[in-house]
């Protein structure tokens, strides 16, 4: 089970959270202006990154708020947690997974 750090409540077990998929997807401002391909891209295409992935979580059995996280999908280790609206944190180094494994997992 993942240990997830809610930016509002602190470290909690995964079962308190709901997964929200890829982060930083903005709904098109004028959907009627999109062609079918662009609309399909927005609706259905996800990065599905093998590596460091920015994703949303919701503390649905806690404070109820959405927030974002960076997770390495090859190890499931979290690299950062940040509030919705904040920019994706830059990782130290060149983007390789630098953060040591958390001892509690």
Q: Which residues bind another protein (CB under 8 A)?
A: 1-2, 14-15, 17-19, 21, 36-37, 39-41, 43-46, 48, 50, 53, 55, 71, 73-76
Q: Taking the complex as a whole, how short is the minimal distance between the CB of residue 42 and another protein, in angstroms? A: 11
Q: Taking the complex as a whole, how short is the minimal distance between the CB of residue 73 and another protein, in angstroms? A: 5
Q: How many CB atoms lie within 10 A of CB 74?
A: 12
Q: Which is nearer to another protein, 32 or 48 (CB)?
A: 48
Q: How many CB atoms lie within 10 A of CB 100?
A: 7
Q: Taking the complex as a whole, how short is the minimal distance between the CB of residue 15 and another protein, in angstroms? A: 6
51: left (phi over 0), alpha (psi -120 to 50) or beta: left
Q: How far is CA 91 from the centre of its chain?
A: 14
Q: Which is nearer to another protein, 59 or 71 (CB)?
A: 71
Q: Taking the complex as a whole, how short is the minimal distance between the CB of residue 96 and another protein, in angstroms? A: 16
Q: How far is CA 79 from the centre of its chain?
A: 10
| Residue 11 β-bridge partners | 5
């Amino acid at each position: 089970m993942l240990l997830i750090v809610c930016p509002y409540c602190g470290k909690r077990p995964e079962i308190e959270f709901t997964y929200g998929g890829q982060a930083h997807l903005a709904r098109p401002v004028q959907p009627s202006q999109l062609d079918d391909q662009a609309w399909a891209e927005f609706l259905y295409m996800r990065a599905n990154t093998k590596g460091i992935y920015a994703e949303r979580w919701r503390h649905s059995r806690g404070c109820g708020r959405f927030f974002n996280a960076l997770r390495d999908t090859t190890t499931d280790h979290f690299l950062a947690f940040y509030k919705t609206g904040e920019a994706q944190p830059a990782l130290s180094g060149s983007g390789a997974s630098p953060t040591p494994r958390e001892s509690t997992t």
